[in-house]
Amino acid sequence: MMQALREPTAEMEVIYQHPAALSECRTHYCPGCTHGIAHRLLAEAIDELGIRERVILVAPVGCAVFAYEYFEVDGCEAAHGRAPAMATGIKRSCPENLVITYQGDGDLASIGAAEILHAAARGERITTIFVNNAVYGMTGGQMAPTSLLGQKTTSSPAGRMATLTGYPLHMCELLSGLQGSTYIVRRSLHDVRHIRQAKKAITTALRVQMAGLGFGMVELLSSCPTNWGLTPEQAMGWIETKLIPQYPLGDYKVTDEAKALEKAG
Amino acid sequence: MMQALREPTAEMEVIYQHPAALSECRTHYCPGCTHGIAHRLLAEAIDELGIRERVILVAPVGCAVFAYEYFEVDGCEAAHGRAPAMATGIKRSCPENLVITYQGDGDLASIGAAEILHAAARGERITTIFVNNAVYGMTGGQMAPTSLLGQKTTSSPAGRMATLTGYPLHMCELLSGLQGSTYIVRRSLHDVRHIRQAKKAITTALRVQMAGLGFGMVELLSSCPTNWGLTPEQAMGWIETKLIPQYPLGDYKVTDEAKALEKAG
Amino acid sequence: MKVECLFSGFGGQGVMFAGQLLAYAAMDAGLDVTWIPSYGPEMRGGTAHCLVVIADHPIGSPVVMHPQVAIVFNGPSFDKYEPLVAAGGLLVVNSSLVPRSSTRANLTHVRVDATQIASQLGDTHLANMVLLGAALTARPLLPLPAIERALDAHLPERHRHLLAPNKQALAAGAEVLTSP
Amino acid sequence: MKVECLFSGFGGQGVMFAGQLLAYAAMDAGLDVTWIPSYGPEMRGGTAHCLVVIADHPIGSPVVMHPQVAIVFNGPSFDKYEPLVAAGGLLVVNSSLVPRSSTRANLTHVRVDATQIASQLGDTHLANMVLLGAALTARPLLPLPAIERALDAHLPERHRHLLAPNKQALAAGAEVLTSP
Amino acid sequence: MPKELLKGNIAIAEAAVRAGMQAYFGYPITPQTELLEYLSARMPELGRTFLQAESEIAAIHMVYGAACTGVRAMTSTSSPGYSLMQEGLSYIAASDLPCVVVNMMRGGPGLGNIQPSQGDYFQMTRSAGHGDYHPIVLAPASVQEAIDFTLLAFTLAEQYRHLVILAADGQVGQMMEPAELPPLLPVAEERPVWALTGARGRGKNIISSLHLRAEEEEIANQRIQARLLTICANEQRSTEYATDDAELLVIGFGTAGRIAYSAVEAARAKGLKVGLLRPQTLYPFPEDRLSRLARQMRSCLVVEMNAGQMIEDVRLAVAGRIPVRFYGRMGGMVPMPDDVLTAIEEAYALHAAVV
Amino acid sequence: MPKELLKGNIAIAEAAVRAGMQAYFGYPITPQTELLEYLSARMPELGRTFLQAESEIAAIHMVYGAACTGVRAMTSTSSPGYSLMQEGLSYIAASDLPCVVVNMMRGGPGLGNIQPSQGDYFQMTRSAGHGDYHPIVLAPASVQEAIDFTLLAFTLAEQYRHLVILAADGQVGQMMEPAELPPLLPVAEERPVWALTGARGRGKNIISSLHLRAEEEEIANQRIQARLLTICANEQRSTEYATDDAELLVIGFGTAGRIAYSAVEAARAKGLKVGLLRPQTLYPFPEDRLSRLARQMRSCLVVEMNAGQMIEDVRLAVAGRIPVRFYGRMGGMVPMPDDVLTAIEEAYALHAAVV
Amino acid sequence: MAHGMIIVDEAHCKGCALCTTACPQQILEIDTQTLNDRGYHPAHLADPAGRCTGCAICAVICPDACITVYREARAKQGGGKDA
Amino acid sequence: MAHGMIIVDEAHCKGCALCTTACPQQILEIDTQTLNDRGYHPAHLADPAGRCTGCAICAVICPDACITVYREARAKQGGGKDA
Ligand SMILES: Cc1ncc(C[n+]2csc(CCOP(=O)(O)OP(=O)(O)O)c2C)c(N)n1
Ligand SMILES: Cc1ncc(C[n+]2csc(CCOP(=O)(O)OP(=O)(O)O)c2C)c(N)n1
Ligand code: SF4
Ligand code: SF4
Ligand code: SF4
Ligand code: SF4
Ligand code: SF4
Ligand code: SF4
Ligand SMILES: [Mg+2]
Ligand SMILES: [Mg+2]
């Protein structure tokens, strides 16, 4: 049996380290919040594709409001929900750059529903990372359009009721119906296997943009231990047992060109 | 052979006359504009269901901006695109009333995309008459999200190009994917047979609301002779040959309860 | 010198274009000019009018209450503007559509059967040129050839084939006043 | 009489609740009181503080630059507020997490191993009560039983089972100062 | 009712409930979210309408719709959300609809931060959207006033069929103070005659702000302006402290006014003849009272949590008769009484210099 | 270039093109739609960006995005659409981004009508959204000025990295007049150093208006305020007519100012000592010039197409030294020179009464 | 064949001619001699032979609801609907 | 089995414990004795037996990217990837 190590030996090599596109600063995310994982995956994808110097990141209003601080890329702050419109303005002015929006479910599916819908319908050549945690994280856990029926939140204290507030919104299903969308998939961040799949999807989505195809979005089922009132580990379980059944993982739209890129990747 | 008549004889009875729910005033619509037909059908449906005194109509900003003048029902004016939100406020405050929004394609599918999406997702118990004429009528014929590829408008003078402005939005297809929607159908106003079918759909949609089921919408393919640069008759032909192929008529979502009402009607 | 000309009628009667032609001609004559449209409260159909101010010095207000020249194409326009024409002004009326006559003594009142004349020229839409021809004959703000040059330069491409008829209509309007 | 008390620490250390208890007790004692929270720029985690002003007359500003009493739960709070305590004021420090001591001569400086004591009582979250108990012993703004009554009335339902430990913690804090 | 220790946000929410609010629509935004959260439990409990809208735009148009039906309707938001409501507010005002909007101001412009601010003074008093009108704007400085002004807001809204803004800041929303709530008023059974309730047994009712004829739009505007004149004549409200023999008048509203109160107290303790005017209505601005007070003063000092906005109303009211000085903090910074005191002393020293 | 007979809307559009505008985003709304329509053909012709946005909100955020990349970006709208842009404008201003917004005002509030109006004066000069700042506001009165100010707007926007609003009304947009367009300027090749273009060979650039620390937000605000001071010092613009020996000063901007010009001409013809000041910048308001002129006047008369908004700036500038009277029309009514003349005569008669 | 007739509300008709093309009997025409006060030529029934069946097709397509349709009662009875 | 090790950046670790549950070797634990300056107990490698395989699973799940993973080179060669 091997000996315990406190420092890597000379023969050891780094198998995994902090991605270059991710800043070395501390994030303000809660312990165990998978926003952090989403960030890391995006940074890794950027590194691997060698596009760090071409990316322009549009941060949302939501817990990821400081996203532009956390990536070593050019970045800006959109108003709540308007990241797709802002990204449109950027992409049309800098078609050679790679424009990424990073948005929460309140941001993208609630206040920003029109902007994401139209960006997708236009086939805007941008990439959206959509972090769905079924709740408004930043403002303290209110109901989101993606909250589950029965889910107790700070603005649906008796649990979300369909008769009063309707049904969870499925953004992948919705946007994949639009001709302008090219790559629309849903992944989850609740365990290592799924995280790896998510990473692959993000990479493909960026490739889609690099190839100048249409609108791409990767929805990531994500945790909010703080507002769900769960430990980080329990929260991962909640994604698996509650969120995924309501939001099935899968490829909602992958055009043939996108498929080709996916394989090539 | 019968004799020509200039006045009805005593034996004659009125087979068709101006519906009571439609005001006796002149509309400001252009000659041959099928907004007028949509109005008449809605008025007839209201009369036949005997609900004139319960209806609250929300007029849009668009050519139908004066709709509240043209119906003998309580009515109000929404800001551009916000009719579904306004209708929500009304319906929640007057659940016994029947709340109808009447909206154009610019109003509903462009600026008001978020509001209609969320009203449908909430299963808001309102009825939306969606007049799709593939153009911004009121402001003089600019491109709408529903304009066809290649369609020349005053803001797409070279014809709508997918690479620049994306693809036509199909609202029935989109909204029928939402669990909160109950009755989502598309009809056309281009000839007598289709007009009769449209009338039937409007009646069913209102019944759906009377029964307290979820969100209902009847999309009506409609003409804009003025901005299409066609005669009224040619415009009817354009609906048939151009619009319908892009926007197939049909029932996009009719829940079982709604089906039962449809049959009963 | 400063003169304000009002053109008023149904949408579709060529009211705006008649006013613009006058404005173009005035500009080419080295005068200052403003053209300002106004669409009635009806969004579609309904009345439309435009006001052209021509002056040999910079123009302040492009709007006036009492225009010196008014060319009215239809009944509602007559009713609205007949009382407003400035004293000593000119009122040109499309008598084809306006049965009433002005009873005002302090203005020059010209009635032209413009729609009828235009229809004889083959297109009722030419009534605007008939009226303009008559107006400029009654009050020669600019010579008719200046208007013809403006027509040459500004008749929209899709109406190009109507250049000659437009000029004929202008002449026909002028003739109403010159022929006995 | 008017006194301002600052409570400052990490989010989750019960800073806000300690302040609220004091406010409730003051109100029940018939005094005027304001409680005002402030969350640090970090949205999550990070520091939080609240300020309680107690007076026997209507309170104007609920904020002050130099509080008379400061109860600091952690290092960053010590660094920030130690210099700001009013001359003659009281500084209560959670010595479990703050190794540094104040060098200021013009204030009463009390160090309480609060997190440690709380952990001995079974829950580090009780440190807030330990500190409050100590503070009110060092400067008896209100008698401890008043705080106990406030606890009875306002401890959230879900923490009800911790009522007794909370009171023990209060007492333990007081003891730090009373026992030799 | 006995006093309770209440948080501003909760106090406003419960006061609105007790005032008979029948419908609330809102969207989360710090620092007013607690208000929405509280109502999400409280309104259904009473069988009333609570709905979290998909955006502030939807929220204000839901309020617009609800107000059309004659119910007491309200929304609440904070600065960026308030900006989004501008179009809807203009429609509501143009339609002569009573309703109440809470703006719990935060640091701006842009996304800014969630600290207390008074940076939307202009946007509330001068222009809640396009076109000519002013909402009534009430500015509470304490939890008790927040309660009282919530009641007042509904009363004024209905009395004048006019939009009322409750202009507070994060500090008023977050602060806890002992305060007394009113009893739960019964909800109005009857809807007003102009309300949309279905044209049963009467002609149709129409609510619209469209007047294509400029002449008619001008008449609609004149009606609004006439109403505003009445409002200005009747509804100016302010409170004062130590103005009797004051030579320097400090003027501040809401949180700034309250902090200034402590500073004025301290200045008095130092023997300076200083008084405080705290406007409680921002529109109508208490210009009559200020104009009268100004006669006796040698100068005034405006204290705001912004770059100087109310100061324009002060300057308009004193019309050049005395110097108007300014002390302000911006971007979520709350002025400290000590700093205001320093500003007072400086302003006061200038009097001495003049003598 | 020779003069052409140009319509205001088209003139602004083409002037923007010639000023090197690289990206335009807009949404149809009368009375500015022609501008958008013109650009829908013109911009692609030059290989530049034209996009009809799904709403005014999307349009302003597209402009925001484009401006972040350092291109010359513009949008245009009219009153209700301008209301919808408030949040976006506040973000843009807070982010120190140069860009140009045209507001072709129409009758309001609410849906109102499409006639010319000046009802958004406050919303443009006082508060383009929440928080403390003022955009630069330029008010053309003729087609030529519309062209010149469009150029100026881009220049000032870039010089100060500040938001510039071109404040016109339906009349300026719809009117045709002879005017001269500038030559087509080459589009800037280089993007500014702060622009988002990808962090190639440099550290990352960030554009954000978020400053969670109030201290930092205050610094950001101070930076804006300092810039506004410079702007106020350097950019006040106005034009005058017959002020030399005038005793009554008429003040009006844009269309109202131009109509007032005719009325002043007529008054002069009647021998009245009347002059005109027409502010060309509404922010910064030409208070220095007005304040100087006021010394020589016995009173002034403000003419606006609203209920009286600029009058506040006038009153602030004259600070009570002379009476300020008002003549206004609302809701899309355009004042007639005759009526302004009557108002002038009445105001003038009051001088005589005083003597 | 039932016997019918229609009356066009000339003041409201906008002369769009949709009824004229829709009428299966081709007995409606635009009256270019008449101009209503909005400036439109209204449609009118030109049915010297009394061919109008009262089918109401014209009314169904009329965007301005300005056609009233009459039919002889027996026709309706013939349709068996009025029993 | 390859031989590996990890280093946790304690200043950045938030003690969420996701790595501890994910590690197939169960050799990561939260160090309740240490408190970083944000008030969190960081995770640390407790691998006296040297069971860490360098599989990087802990790093893949760490939301704060604060785990660096090392592995002996031959292990990698063994994987045939570095050929
Ligand atoms: C116009 C506007 N409305 C509301 C807010 C307040 N707000 C900030 S974040 C947020 C919700 C964020 O939720 P989500 O997008 O799901 O992101 P998460 O925090 O869950 O990652 C809201 C409502 C705001 N900043 N601006
Ligand atoms: C906020 C706002 N933006 C824009 C407008 C201008 N506007 C009025 S109607 C309209 C489009 C109407 O098109 P559509 O909804 O398709 O109705 P249609 O006229 O074709 O029936 C627009 C853009 C407005 N009134 N308000
Ligand atoms: S509040 Fe939720 S989403 Fe936001 S950082 Fe915390 S855990 Fe993550
Ligand atoms: S513009 Fe088009 S949609 Fe509007 S009334 Fe005319 S024909 Fe109908
Ligand atoms: S009722 Fe039938 S037959 Fe008679 S005119 Fe109408 S369409 Fe023709
Ligand atoms: S369809 Fe109606 S409006 Fe059109 S011509 Fe016939 S009667 Fe007139
Ligand atoms: S690398 Fe693998 S074995 Fe080693 S600590 Fe991490 S998860 Fe455990
Ligand atoms: S997963 Fe990362 S942040 Fe969480 S405990 Fe492990 S090392 Fe620390
Ligand atoms: Mg979320
Ligand atoms: Mg349309």
Q: What is the pLDDT of residues F180-194, one digit of tens each?
A: 999 998 888 899 999
* Domain-embedded: residue A16: no
Please report the number of interchain residue pairs, chain B to chain C, with beta-carbon separation below 8 angstroms.
15
pLDDT of residue F24: 98
Supply the pLDDT for residue G77: 45
Min distance F346 CA to chain C CA atoms (Å): 19
Q: Find the range with the poorest average confidence among A49-53, B69-73, C38-42, E95-99.
A: C38-42
Pocket perturbation via mutation, ligand 4, pick of B154, B224, B230 by most ligand atoms within 8 A of CB: B224
Angle, to 10 degrees, between the axis of helix F8-18 and the axis of helix F143-160?
A: 40
How large is the average pLDDT for residues E331-341?
96
Q: Report which ligand 4 atom has the smallest distance to the Cα of B140.
A: 1
Among B25, B28, B70, which would you mutate to test the C interface (most chain C Cβ atoms within 10 Å of its Cβ)? Answer: B28
| Residue of E130, E137, E316 for testing the chain F interface, max F β-carbons within 10 Å | E130
Ligand at minimal distance from the CA of H29 is 8
G72 neighbourhood in chain B, CB within 8 Å: 9, 11-13
List all chains that touch chain A, counting a touch as 3 or more CB pairs closer than 8 Å. Answer: B, D, E, F, H
Model pLDDT, residue C42: 54
Predicted local confidence at residue B65, as pLDDT: 96
Query: Based on the structure, what is the number of domains in chain D?
Result: 1
Kindly report the CATH number that applies to the domain delimited by F238-353: 3.40.50.920
In the structure, what pLDDT confidence band is assigned to residue B11 with cuts at 50, 70 and 90?
A: confident
Give the mean pLDDT of chain H: 87
> What range defines the domain where residue C161 resides?
2-178
Report chain E's mean pLDDT, rounded to a whole number: 96
Q: What is the pLDDT of residue G1?
A: 58
Cα separation, B212 vs G70, in Å, equals 38
pLDDT, tens digit (0-9, with 9 covering 90-100), for E237-260: 999 999 999 999 999 999 999 999
Domain residue ranges of chain E, discontinuous segments joined by +: 4-234, 238-353
CB C58 within 8 Å of CB C32? yes
Q: Does the Cβ of G22 fall within 6 Å of ligand 6?
A: no
Q: What is the CATH number of the domain that holds D53?
A: 3.40.920.10
What local confidence, expressed as pLDDT, does residue A4 receive? 63
The pLDDT, as a whole number, for residue F128 is 86
Give the model's pLDDT for residue D166.
95
Q: Is the pLDDT confidence value at E355 over 70?
A: no
ipTM of this complex:
0.96
Q: Residue F211: closest CA among chain D residues belongs to which residue? A: D41
pLDDT in tens, A101-127: 999 999 999 999 999 999 999 999 999
Ligand 6 contact, G17 CB (< 6 A) = yes
Query: B179 lies in a domain?
Result: yes
pLDDT at D28: 94
pLDDT band at A5 (very low <50, low <70, confident <90, very high): low
Asked whether the predicted pLDDT for residue H77 surpasses 50, the reply is no
- What distance in angstroms lies between residue A138's CA and the mean position of ligand 3's atoms? 6
Average pLDDT (B258-262) is: 93
| Residues contacting ligand 8 via CB (< 6 Å) | H 8, 13-19, 42-43, 62, 64, 66-67
**Mean of per-residue pLDDT scores for chain F:** 96
Q: Report pLDDT for A77.
A: 98
Cα(A139) to centroid of ligand 1, in Å?
6
Q: Is the pLDDT of residue H35 over 90?
A: no
Q: Over the stretch F244-287, which tens digit does the pLDDT of each residue have?
A: 999 999 999 999 999 999 999 999 999 999 999 999 999 999 99
Structure confidence at residue B1 (pLDDT):
44
3-state DSSP of chain A: CCCCCCCCCCCEEEEECCCCCECCCCCCCCCCCCHHHHHHHHHHHHHHHCCCCCEEEEECCCHHHHHHHHECCEEEECCCCCHHHHHHHHHHHCCCCEEEEEEEHHHHHHHCHHHHHHHHHCCCCCEEEEEECCCECCCCCECCCCCCCCCCECCECCCCCHHHHCCCCCHHHHHHCCCCEEEEEEEECCCHHHHHHHHHHHHHHHHHHHCCCCEEEEEEECCCHHHHCCCHHHHHHHHHHHHHHHCCCEEEEECHHHHHHHHHC
* Closest partner CB to A22 (pick from H22, H56, H65): H65
CA angle F280–F285–F290, rounded 5-degree value: 90
Q: What is the pLDDT of residues D102-147, one digit of tens each?
A: 999 999 999 999 999 998 998 889 999 999 999 999 999 999 999 9
pLDDT at G82: 36
- Of ligand 4's atoms, which has the minimum distance to the CA of residue B228? 2
How far does E213 lie from chain C, in Å, by closest CA?
A: 5
Beta carbons of B86 and E62 less than 8 Å apart: yes
pLDDT at A187: 98
User: What letter would DSSP give residue G63?
Assistant: T
CA-proximal residue: ligand 6, atom 6 (nearest)? G19
pLDDT band at G75 (very low <50, low <70, confident <90, very high): very low
Distance CA B263, CA C3 (A): 70
Omega within 30 of 0 (cis) for the link into F31: yes
Residue A99: partners with Cβ closer than 8 Å, 6 or more residues away: A55, A56, A58, A87, A90, A91, A125, A126, A127, A209
Give the distance (Å) from ligand 7 centre to CA of residue H3: 10
What residues of chain H lie within 8 A of the CB of A63, using their CB?
Answer: none
| pLDDT surpassing 60 at residue B62 | yes
Mean pLDDT over F98-119 rounds to: 96
CA F68 to chain centre: 22
> Would you state the pLDDT for residue D12?
82
Flag whether B touches F (3+ CB pairs, 8 A cutoff). yes
Contact B33, B225 (CB under 8 A): yes
**Interface of chain A toward chain F, CB-CB under 8 angstroms:** 52-56, 58-59, 65-66, 68-69, 71-79, 82, 85-94, 97, 114-115, 118
List residues, by chain if needed, whose CB lies under 5 Å from ion ligand 9. Answer: A 104-105, 133, 137
Which ligand is closest to the CA of A15, given by its number? 7
pLDDT tens, position by position, B171-207: 999 999 999 999 999 999 999 999 999 999 999 999 9
pLDDT confidence bin for E282, thresholds 50/70/90: very high
C-alpha A25/C-alpha H64 separation (Å) is 10
pLDDT at D98 over 70: yes
Q: What is the CATH number of domain E4-234?
A: 3.40.50.970
Ligand at minimal distance from the CA of F113 is 2
pLDDT at residue E354, rounded to an integer:
62
Between B and F, how many CB-CB pairs are < 8 A? 51
Nearest CA to ligand 7 atom 5: H52
Measured between beta carbons, which residues in chain H are less than 8 angstroms from residue D46? Answer: 38
Q: Over the stretch C77-86, which tens digit does the pLDDT of each residue have?
A: 999 999 999 9
Please name the chains neighbouring F, where neighbouring means 3+ C-beta pairs under 8 angstroms: A, B, C, D, E
Q: Which ligand 1 atom is nearest residue A109's CA?
A: 15
Q: Identify the domain containing residue B138 by its residue range.
A: 35-264
| pLDDT, position F172 | 96
Q: Is the pTM of this model over 0.90?
A: yes
Contact yes or no for F48/F183 (Cβ under 8 A): no
Our count of domains for chain B comes to: 1
Nearest atom, ligand 7, residue H56 CA: 1
Among candidates E87, E352, G68, which has minimal Cα distance to B86? E87
Contact state of F338 with C65 under an 8 Å Cβ cutoff: yes
F61 touches chain A (CB under 8 A): yes
- Which chain A residues in 174-193 lie under 8 Å from chain H, judged by CB atoms? 191-192
CA of A82 to the centre of ligand 3 (A): 21
The yes-or-no answer to whether F4-234 and F238-353 have a common fold is: yes
Cα(B140) to ligand 10 centroid in Å equals: 10
A3 confidence band (pLDDT: 50, 70, 90)? low
Distance A1 CA to ligand 3 centre (A): 41
Distance CA(G60)–CA(E128), nearest Å, equals 46
Q: Output D161 or E230, whichever has higher pLDDT.
A: E230
User: How distant is the Cα of A169 from the closest Cα of chain B, in angstroms?
Assistant: 7
Q: Is residue A143 part of a domain?
A: yes
The residue whose C-alpha atom lies closest to atom 3 belonging to ligand 7 is H52
Each residue's pLDDT tens digit, C34-66: 999 987 655 566 678 999 999 999 999 999 999
Strand residues in chain E grouped as ranges (E): 4-7, 23-26, 49-52, 73-77, 99-105, 136-138, 163-169, 176-179, 206-207, 238-241, 248-251, 274-279, 281-283, 299-304, 324-328
How far apart are the CA of A23 and the centre of ligand 7, in A? Answer: 24
